[in-house]
Amino acid sequence: MSIGEIIETTSTAFVAESFELNSPPPLGSLVVVQVSSETGTSTGLDLYAVVIYGQTVGLDPSRRAVRRSTDKVFDAAIYDQHPQLEHTLRTEFGAALVGFVADSVVRQHLPSQPPPLHYSVHTASVEQVRRFTNSLHYLRLLLVPHGEVPPPQVLAANVREVYQQRGVDRLWLDAAAREIATLLQSDHQALLTVLYSIDPGKVSPSTVRGGQI
Amino acid sequence: MSQNRLGVVVDGAFNAGLTVRLDSRITTEQLRIGNFVVVEGQQNRYFSLISDIHLKATDPRLLADPPRDPSPFIAQALAGTSTYATVEVRPMLMLEKADESDVDALFEERGGPEPVRTIPMHFAELREATELDFSTVFGQEGGANFAMGTPLAMDIPICLRLDRFVERSNGVFGQSGTGKSFLARLLISGVIKTKIAVNLIFDMHDEYSFDKQTEDGHWVKGLRQIFGSQVLIYALDEAMGRRRGRNVDVTLKIGLNQIEEADIVLLSQELNLRQTAEATIGLLRDAFRQQWLLKLLQMTPEELGEFCKGSGAHPASMASLQRNLKRLQRQDYVVDEATFSALDDMVEALDRGKHVILQFGRYNSVLDYVLVSNLVTRRVRQRYEEKTRRYEETKEVADKPRPLMITIEEAHKFLNPAVARQTTFGTIAREMRKYNVTLLVIDQRPSGIDPEVMSQLGTRVSGKLTEERDIEAVLTGVSNRSALRGALTSLNTRQQILIMGHAVPMPIVMRTRQYDERFYQAMGARVETSQDAQTDILDLFGDP
Amino acid sequence: MPLKIERISQQLDRMARMIADSAPAREGFLGQAQDCLRSVNADALRQKLEWQRTQQIRIPWLVAVPRGDLSRSVPAPSPPADFCVVGSDASSIPLDRHSSVRYYVLNVGYAILCYGQKPDAVLEASSRLCFQDQDLYVFPQKWDVPIEGTLLGARMEVESLRISQQAMQQISRPTIALRDGPLILWTLQNESKEVKQALLRDLFEAMDALRQMGVPLAGYISYTGSRDVANSLRVWLCQGRPDECERCESSDYDLCQALATIHDRDLFIFLAQGERSELFGSSSQILEQYGRHRVDFFYMNVGEEIVRVEVPQWVGADADLLGLLHAAIYDQCRRSPAVPPYPPALQEAHEQAVITTTERRLVEGMVEQALGRHGQRVFRSAKDHSKRRRGV
């Protein structure tokens, strides 16, 4: 599903304007940019990126949003009472590039070219998520700070999203947790921040101990 | 990645051993100090022991401020990553790698594993030892290879090379309750079964010949019951022979004329002898030769006084000595005069391949044990010395004396630093196999044994030891002591032993072989002795 | 820095003190003026103004002709459940006198905000590069009367109304049209009659269309500086001729003089929130050209501010249209988050219309490039160059 259009692009990340106001893709979720065949690939590239922030601001950077709620009109009703908001606000989201799929091969490193400006951004299908996240090397690309959301929070959000999209895949979650523990081994505060926020609770890990991943 | 992989080498030195970072899925609790493990180098396979286990953290702050309420999930994520374990591994042997698919080549072409001369590079894989590894290092059962036990977590035999075992004196140690006498019985059974040597066992507590009730209540067979007439039973106690089903072949008497000065000195403590006793005995011996003891004991106070005047001995010392040595005369097995024929016959029986157990019966005091053992051994050794000399002259194979292994308990009584130089046992232990006689010393306090003797022991079999001095003593003269020390203290009280030395390629912790029906059968024991009684009798009177 | 800030700050202090000193007097006169407003007989004032007009007595000020009681206040009715507000605004990149190329850019922004069951919004801009003779001259055949300055301003007003009127043709619900600024294009009053007619023609066409559609139109003037009603009070007080003050001996002379400094927005401070004043006619001369679209005005308290609203007479005469307009404006102001409020439709129209400095530069560059592609060079005056390159 097409959800936005790229309005800023670099080799490591891009910013897209969401087609729907106030509904950027979930933090940490995977999005895909389809780039048509160019450099010797037969099927083109699917660039994969992880959503690193979302924001809704005035379309015009010099116009700040102001309070509009009253006793009777608040929350969603504000948008009914001020229909111009749909046109004067915009929702954008940033996404950090974490790899691509070319000729059916999953690569977890930066693509050679940034995604083209104004190209469409799609949500990744469950199948795409599953295939791309079978390997966990992409997580280290999320350690680089891109926006205001600190990398540990992006990591945690991504793991939560993928865990759900993979159908509560506990083996995957355990492997991801270990990968993150390795990546953040020199910063245990950040590490614990992530681990606390991806801890699924309840289920005993003993049932999956020794799982081979 | 192999299934039984444990981790990878991350550090090391040839002199200090290797440091291996454990894989995250491996918990330290799966490993034990002394475990036999294998490091797969690029060209060599290193058979190694785990000598230490360390807990580490990549970020020291994590240790200073551990997570307050770690859920199982978090603990699991941290384990092996932020927190991890390393093990210190000691390569003991190495084997050049061959084509894995060609199992035969592993044994035939390149010989066995050799002492380590190098160490593997970073990231060499550490794994659990497989059945093949065990058989590569310890050989397969059969021939001189005698199965002593199994790895702690596997059911395959670990073999002792008995031919090498009997080449030197050996020791069986362990604090009480660790089953030393069972171990000795296993070893002796192996020696009997393989006919690699003959045994002379000084059986202080009547444990070796017949049924014995174990600590957990069931009965186990004695050597006589397993090996039948291959084993001759000698006894000091005539009453022993009268018990049903416990035939004694020979009742042994000791003559006062056979007791020497050295025997008495050995018993100084038991006999409450004074410092001057040795000098006094010397005077007596000069005067009466072999009859000295008999004479002394027969002396009236007047004769005593005269002897003192004549020889310059101190009368009080003489009187005291006489009083103390009268204890010997009171023992039923001691007669005034005896010939060595019984002992010489025993040596001949040994030479025919018989094994001898000397039961002490009621006379199981230290005094009896030390006196008789030392005296008998001295004679046996003399005879072996003579035989060896003759063999060296004739060089006839028929004259070659059979290797003899003498088993003694409470070994520190004979081999403590104060007396070891004077006893026959001390001599045997030091001169090793010169005259084809070696010792199997059994003791629960190895620290009581002369370090010089300890260092001469070829193979040491030890159950759990907790006393630091005893551990030190058992490890006398062994390399990689730190690794083995950890292994020794971490043994289970029962059933687990550490074997190191001449008869094994490398030190190894194992679960002791069960001494049970299966064992008896493996040793060739008859299911019912009665039906083969006829054969026994034939056996008893000469080898066909 | 040539500006001597320290000198100004000293003078500032004097100014502030002066204003503060005069405040009580001003307050006093304002009270008197409001009393006067309440006491005026509207009919009598209207007759007086009419008489003066017929006597050709020149009144030197713009005056308001009351259509009813001066101090009357009308509360805002409720707006209908569904309605739309169309706001429009315009801006331009004016003709560059320093450039050899003659063109200007008109940008009309409009916002159609629909409220009720199906809220909706259209925010758009219509941009046009004007370079042909009919764009550049009022009388293109003769290349006479270039459209620049005030004429361009009037053109923008007209265009914005025309374009927004076209944009609202699809709307089916009750709609009002709001313009930012006056409907009374008084800046044209010094132009020749032909020029006025030429420029106002399009305005009237658009207004006709709106009238046919039943869409009330209003010019919304925030922070108005007009004094029409205050001036009428002066006429009311005047016992001689308003153009002969120097001979005045009236006891109300001081009040009359004070009224010259009082804005209508202060006079109508008595209006409660949402309330509008009575309609007033304007004496602006340009209205002579407006005919059926003659414009009246009223004041209105939109909350925190008294604004001036100008409406064609066909709106003022239709109670329904006027009520809808009044209700919608007040509703707009209540939706505004700003203080004082400002109708969102106008706010968004402005946002659409505005041309940023960057855009101005961009257009300039694009013009040069386009001409360059056709082998034409753009010359600039020396003065223009010196402005652009401020070397020292």
Instruction: Give me the pLDDT at residue A203, please.
Output: 47
Does C11 or B1 have the greater pLDDT score? Answer: C11
Instruction: Give me the pLDDT at residue A72, please.
Output: 86
The partner residues of B269 in beta bridges, in order of sequence, read: none
Residues of chain A with Cβ-Cβ distance to C119 below 8 Å are 79-81, 83
> In this complex, how many residue pairs, one in chain A and one in chain B, have their CB atoms less than 8 Å apart?
56
Instruction: Give me the pLDDT at residue B537, please.
Output: 46
| pLDDT tops 90 at residue C146 | no
Mean pLDDT, chain C, rounded, equals: 88
Cβ contacts of C242 within 8 Å, gap of 6 or more: C52, C57, C59, C60, C61, C234, C235
pLDDT more than 70, % of chain B: 92
Which one of C119, C337, C338 has the shortest CB-CB distance to A83? C119
Residue A163 in 3-state DSSP? helix
| pLDDT tops 70 at residue A160 | yes
A209 is a domain residue: no
- How far from the centroid of its chain's Cα atoms is residue C102's Cα? 28
Residue A116 in 3-state DSSP? coil
Q: How confident is the model at residue C87 (pLDDT cuts 50, 70, 90)?
A: very high
Which one of B24, B65, B71 has the shortest CB-CB distance to A199? B71
Q: Which of B247-256, B466-475, C375-384 has the lowest mean pLDDT?
A: C375-384
Mean pLDDT, chain B, rounded, equals: 85
User: Can you read off the two tokens belonging to residue B62?
Assistant: 């994590």
pLDDT tens-place string over residues C151-169: 898 989 899 999 989 988 8
Which one of B72, B73, B82 has the shortest CB-CB distance to A191? B82
Instruction: Give me the pLDDT at residue B263, please.
Output: 84
Asked if A66 reaches chain C (Cβ–Cβ under 8 Å), the answer is yes
Contact call for C115 and A68, based on CB within 8 A: no
The correct answer on CATH 1.10.3470 for the domain covering C76-226+303-355 is no
Instruction: Give me the pLDDT at residue B126, please.
Output: 94
Interface test with B, best of A189, A191, A197 (most B CBs within 10 A): A191
Beta-sheet strands, E only, within A88-188: 89-102, 105-107, 120-123
Instruction: Give me the pLDDT at residue B244, please.
Output: 66
Distance between CA B160 and CA B146 in Å, rounded?
5
Does C384 or B161 have the greater pLDDT score? Answer: B161
Interface test with B, best of A188, A194, A207, A209 (most B CBs within 10 A): A188
Residues of chain B with Cβ-Cβ distance to A177 below 8 Å are 73-74, 76-77
C-alpha triplet B41, B44, B49: angle, nearest 5°:
75
Does A147 or B190 have the greater pLDDT score? Answer: B190
Which one of A185, A192, A209 has the shortest CB-CB distance to B81? A185
Nearest CA-CA partner of B49 in B98, B82, B80, B93: B93
Segment A54-63 shows an average pLDDT of: 86
Cβ contacts of B290 within 8 Å, gap of 6 or more: B257, B258
Residue of C nearest to A86 (CA): C121
Residues of chain C with Cβ-Cβ distance to A83 below 8 Å are 113-115, 119-121
Q: How confident is the model at residue A69 (pLDDT cuts 50, 70, 90)?
A: confident
Segment B442-462 shows an average pLDDT of: 91
Distance between CA A205 and CA C123 in Å, rounded?
56
Query: Which segment, B35-39, B267-271, B452-456, C321-325, is predicted with the most confidence on average?
Result: C321-325
Interface test with A, best of C122, C173, C331, C351 (most A CBs within 10 A): C351
| pLDDT tops 90 at residue B61 | no
Interface test with C, best of A68, A84, A85, A86 (most C CBs within 10 A): A84
Distances (CA, A) of A51 to A32, A45, A199, B46, C42: 10, 19, 21, 49, 69
Q: How confident is the model at residue A42 (pLDDT cuts 50, 70, 90)?
A: low
Contact call for A84 and C121, based on CB within 8 A: yes
Asked if A10 reaches chain C (Cβ–Cβ under 8 Å), the answer is no
Nearest-CA distance B74 → chain A (Å) = 6
Q: Which of B201-210, B244-253, B530-539, C358-367 has the lowest mean pLDDT?
A: B530-539
Interface test with A, best of B59, B73, B76 (most A CBs within 10 A): B73
- How far from the centroid of its chain's Cα atoms is residue B309's Cα? 50
| pLDDT tops 60 at residue B342 | yes
Best CATH choice for the domain B160-242+341-540 from the list 3.10.20.30, 3.40.50.300, 3.40.640.10, 3.30.365.10: 3.40.50.300
Domain locations in chain C as residue ranges: 76-226+303-355, 359-387
C-alpha triplet A205, A207, A212: angle, nearest 5°:
90
Q: How confident is the model at residue B111 (pLDDT cuts 50, 70, 90)?
A: low
With 0-12 / 13-18 / 19 or more C-beta atoms within 10 angstroms meaning exposed / middle / buried, residue B237 is: buried
Beta-sheet strands, E only, within chain C: 64-66, 73-74, 83-93, 104-115, 120-130, 137-139, 144-146, 175-180, 217-221, 276-277, 280-282, 295-301, 306-312
Distances (CA, A) of B438 to B164, B376, B430: 12, 14, 10
Residues of chain B with Cβ-Cβ distance to A195 below 8 Å are 73-74, 77-78
Nearest-CA distance B1 → chain A (Å) = 10
Mean pLDDT, chain A, rounded, equals: 87
- Antiparallel, parallel or unpaired: β B355-359 and B334-335: unpaired
A105 is a domain residue: yes
User: Can you read off the two tokens belonging to residue B89?
Assistant: 């591994």
When divided into structural domains, chain A yields a total of: 1
Domain locations in chain B as residue ranges: 5-138, 160-242+341-540, 256-330
| pLDDT tops 60 at residue C51 | yes
pLDDT tens-place string over residues A124-153: 999 999 999 999 999 999 988 887 899 999
- How far from the centroid of its chain's Cα atoms is residue B140's Cα? 22
Q: How confident is the model at residue A172 (pLDDT cuts 50, 70, 90)?
A: very high
* Contact in structure between A46 and A128 (CB atoms under 8 Å): yes
Residues of chain C with Cβ-Cβ distance to A84 below 8 Å are 111, 113, 121, 123, 344-345, 348
Instruction: Give me the pLDDT at residue B57, please.
Output: 84
Which one of A67, A79, A86 has the shortest CB-CB distance to C337? A67
C-alpha triplet B133, B135, B138: angle, nearest 5°:
105
Angle, helix B424-431 to helix B366-394, in steps of 10 degrees:
40
A210 is a domain residue: no
Q: How confident is the model at residue B411 (pLDDT cuts 50, 70, 90)?
A: confident
Q: A interface toward B at CB cutoff 8 Å?
A: 174, 177-178, 180-182, 184-189, 191-192, 195-196, 199-201, 204-206, 209-210
Nearest-CA distance B484 → chain A (Å) = 30
Residues of chain A with Cβ-Cβ distance to B25 below 8 Å are 209-210
Residue of A nearest to B25 (CA): A210
Distance between CA B272 and CA A189 in Å, rounded?
73
Instruction: Give me the pLDDT at residue A152, please.
Output: 92
pLDDT tens-place string over residues B282-329: 888 888 888 888 888 888 888 888 888 888 888 888 888 888 888 888
Residues of chain A with Cβ-Cβ distance to B78 below 8 Å are 181, 191, 195
Cβ contacts of C23 within 8 Å, gap of 6 or more: none
Instruction: Give me the pLDDT at residue A178, please.
Output: 87
pLDDT tens-place string over residues C252-297: 888 888 888 899 999 999 999 999 999 999 988 899 889 899 999 9
pLDDT tens-place string over residues C329-347: 999 999 888 889 999 999 9
Backbone phi and psi for residue C276, each to the nearest 5 degrees, phi listed first: -115, 165
Distances (CA, A) of B277 to A71, B417, B426: 117, 19, 22
Contact call for C123 and A83, based on CB within 8 A: no
> In this complex, how many residue pairs, one in chain A and one in chain C, have their CB atoms less than 8 Å apart?
38
Which one of A66, A68, A84 has the shortest CB-CB distance to C111? A84
| pLDDT tops 70 at residue A173 | yes
Contact call for B61 and A200, based on CB within 8 A: no
Residue of B nearest to A213 (CA): B25
pLDDT tens-place string over residues A81-118: 888 888 889 999 999 999 999 888 999 999 999 999 99
Instruction: Give me the pLDDT at residue C302, please.
Output: 94
The partner residues of C146 in beta bridges, in order of sequence, read: C137
Residues of chain A with Cβ-Cβ distance to C335 below 8 Å are 68, 81-82
Distance between CA C104 and CA C152 in Å, rounded?
9
Q: C interface toward A at CB cutoff 8 Å?
A: 111, 113-115, 119-123, 335, 337-338, 344-345, 348, 351
Contact call for A83 and C348, based on CB within 8 A: no
Contact call for B74 and A195, based on CB within 8 A: yes
How many Cβ atoms from other residues are within 10 Å of residue B117's Cβ?
9
What domain range is A41 assigned to? Answer: 2-203
- Antiparallel, parallel or unpaired: β B212-213 and A30-35: unpaired
Interface test with A, best of B22, B65, B74 (most A CBs within 10 A): B74
Instruction: Give me the pLDDT at residue C125, please.
Output: 92
Contact call for A81 and C115, based on CB within 8 A: yes
Round to the nearest angstrom and report the end-to-end CA distance of chain B. Answer: 59
Segment C202-207 shows an average pLDDT of: 92
| pLDDT tops 90 at residue C148 | no
Which value does ipTM take for this structure? 0.76
Instruction: Give me the pLDDT at residue C387, please.
Output: 64
Structure letter (DSSP) for residue A114: P
User: Can you read off the two tokens belonging to residue B218?
Assistant: 């069931």
Q: Which chains touch A (3 or more CB pairs under 8 A)?
A: B, C
Nearest CA-CA partner of A30 in A112, A118, A127: A127
Q: Which of A94-108, B65-79, B452-466 has the lowest mean pLDDT?
A: B65-79
Residues of chain A with Cβ-Cβ distance to C348 below 8 Å are 84, 87-88
What does R_g of chain B's alpha carbons equal in angstroms? 28
Nearest-CA distance A166 → chain B (Å) = 18
Residue of A nearest to B82 (CA): A185
pLDDT more than 90, % of chain C: 43
